[in-house]
Chain A
Amino acid sequence: MAKEKTIRVKVNGAERRATVEVRRNLADFLREDLELTGTHLGCEHGVCGACTVLVDGEAVRSCLMLAVQAEGHEITTVEGLTTPDGDPGPLQQAFWDNHGMQCGFCTPGMICAAAALLRENPHPTAAEVRERLSGNLCRCTGYQDIVASVLAAAEGK
C-alpha cells in the first residue's frame, strides 16, 4: 500500500508518465507536476468549476478526482483546446473577441465546460448555455459576455 504510484496518462495528446503521491488531486498533478497552470483551483470542493477539465471528452472537476484515477485516461485541459499550431482555438478566440473574460480566473473552466457542451450539442440556445455553465462561477463578468462567447463559437464567428 504505497503512498506513491507511477501513472501513465495522456494529457493534451501527449503520453505522460509520473510518480505521484496517491492523495494528489488531478488539478494539482496538472499544475504542479506537469506545469499546466491553465487549470485553476478555486474552492477545491467541487462548487466553483474553475478546475473543470475534460476526461475522455467529458467535463470533470479535477479537484474531485485523484491523479492516480486518471491512469489510462485522456485528459484535455484549456492548453489542449488551441489549434494544432498553438493559436487560440475557436472557443478561446470567441472569448477573446466577445470579452468573455475579465480577470480570467474562471475562464479555463468555462472553456472546458463549454467545449463539452458544444461537442454534445453544437448549436445550443442561450438558455442551454446558461444551464450547462451553471456549475462554473464567475465573479467578474456578469456572465452575459461568456454566454455570448459560447454562442459565437457555436456559430463559427
Chain B
Amino acid sequence: MKAAAFDYEAPASLEEALALLQARSDDAKILAGGQSLMPMLNMRLARPALIVDINRLPGLDYIRVADGQLRIGALARHTAVAKHPEVVRGWPVLAEAAAQIGHDAIRNRGTVAGSLAHSDPTAEHPAVLAALDGEVVARSAKGERTLKADELFLGYLTTALRADELLTEVRLPVLPPHTGSTFVEFAPRVGDFAVVGIAAAVTLGGDGAWQDVRLALTGVGGTPFRARQAESALKGTRPKAADIAAAAAQVAEAIEPDSDIKASARYRRQLARTLTERALTTAAERAAGQGGR
C-alpha cells in the first residue's frame, strides 16, 4: 500500500524541529531512519498529519566517548555503531546488538535512538540500554530530561517520550576494566527479528570472582527484562559452569513470556535459558581474557 497524504518538514536546526513538535504535538511524527515508521505509513497503520524529518539536522550522527560515557547522537545508524572502532572495543554488547538488527539495507538507515523510541518488544537496543543502566536524553522546546530504561519503556511499543519530545542522545557508561560483554540472540534466519535475545556485561574482580553481572532480555515481554535475581546470585563467586547453568535456569523461571505466532511461551523460556548460558559464558571468557570489556 501507499502512505496516506501528510505534510512534510525537514527542519535544518534542532530548535526548529522542537518548535514544530511543540506546535503540532497532536498530529506530528518524527521520521528518523524510517525503518519502522515507513512500513507503518505504507500500511496506513500510522496516519500522521505532519512528518518531521530529522535527517537534515546537523551534527546529530556522532558516536563519541565523553565524561565517562559513550554518547550516541539521534542520527547514528546501526551500521555506523556496529563498525565504530571504539564501540567494537569498549562496548561489544552494543556493536553485536547493532550488527544483528535486520539486514544491511535496514542497518544503513535505522538509528539507535529510533529503535529505542519505537521500543519493539523484540528489538536489541532496549535490552542493551537496560543491561548497562544507560539513559536517553529527551529534548523539547520546554527543556531537557534524561530517562533510564525502566523510566523510558512502559510497554509494548510504548515509551514515556511525549509527542513534543525528541530523543537527542543515548548514553551508555564506560565499562570498568575486566569487563566482558556480548549480545546473543536467536532468530530463525539471519536478519529476522530475534525471538529472544540477551545483553550481558560482567565484570570480574581481582580475585577472579563475579563482581558485577548485568543481564537484560528482549523478546520475553513488552519491555526488556532485567534479570536482577540471577545477577545477584552469581556475584561474589568465581565463574563455574554449574553456577552459570543455575543462573540460566533461574532466568527462564523468572520471565513471563507470552505465546505468539513466532514462538510459544515454553519455547521462549527454553531459549532464554540457553542464550543466558551462552551469553554469561562468553562475557566471562572475555572479561578474564584481556583485562577488559
Interface residues in chain A, defined as those with a beta carbon under 8 Å from any beta carbon in chain B: 1-3, 5, 21-23, 25, 28, 44-46, 49, 52, 55, 58-61, 63-66, 68-69, 113, 116-117, 130-132, 134-136
Known A23-B4, A28-B2; contact A59-B10, beta-carbon cutoff 8 A = no
Whose C-beta in chain B lies nearest to the C-beta of A61? B105
Interface of A is mostly: mixed
Q: A59-B108, A63-B38 are in contact. List 13 more A-B contacts (CB 8 A).
A: A5-B8, A23-B2, A23-B5, A25-B2, A25-B38, A45-B38, A45-B39, A45-B42, A60-B109, A66-B38, A113-B104, A117-B104, A135-B102
Flag if A46 contacts B8 (CB, 8 Å).
no
Flag if B39 contacts A64 (CB, 8 Å).
yes
State the Cβ distance, A57 to closest chain B Cβ, in Å: 10
Known A25-B42, A64-B35; contact A132-B8, beta-carbon cutoff 8 A = no
State the CA gap A64–B111 with chains docked (Å): 14
Flag if A58 contacts B50 (CB, 8 Å).
no
Q: Residue A23 contacts which of B3, B9, B105 (CB distance < 8 angstroms)? A: B3
State the CA gap A46–B191 with chains docked (Å): 12
Q: Could you name 28 residue pairs across A and B whose Cβ atoms are closer than 8 Å?
A: A1-B8, A1-B50, A3-B6, A3-B7, A5-B8, A21-B5, A22-B7, A23-B5, A23-B41, A25-B38, A25-B42, A44-B2, A44-B39, A45-B38, A46-B35, A46-B39, A46-B102, A60-B108, A61-B109, A64-B34, A65-B34, A65-B38, A66-B8, A66-B34, A66-B51, A135-B102, A135-B103, A135-B191
Interface residues in B78-108 by Cβ distance below 8 A to A read 79, 102-106, 108
Q: Residue B104 contacts which of A23, A55, A135 (CB distance < 8 angstroms)? A: A135
List 3 tightest A-B contacts by C-beta distance, closest first. A135-B103, A45-B39, A22-B8
State the CA gap A106–B121 with chains docked (Å): 30
Flag if B10 contacts A68 (CB, 8 Å).
yes
Known A3-B5, A22-B6, A66-B8; contact A59-B39, beta-carbon cutoff 8 A = no
Interface residues in B2-57 by Cβ distance below 8 A to A read 2-10, 31, 34-35, 38-39, 41-43, 50-51, 53, 55
State the CA gap A111–B256 with chains docked (Å): 43
Q: Which A residues lie within 8 Å of B41 (CB)? A: 23
State the Cβ distance, B270 to closest chain A Cβ, in Å: 24
Q: Which B residues lie within 8 Å of A55 (CB)? A: 108
State the CA gap A23–B41 with chains docked (Å): 9
Question: B190 interface residue, CB < 8 Å from A?
Answer: yes
Question: B1 interface residue, CB < 8 Å from A?
Answer: yes
Flag if B38 contacts A134 (CB, 8 Å).
no
Most buried by A among B31, B79, B105, B191: B105
State the CA gap A105–B41 with chains docked (Å): 24
Flag if A44 contacts B50 (CB, 8 Å).
no
Q: Which B residues lie within 8 Å of A45 (CB)? A: 38-39, 42-43
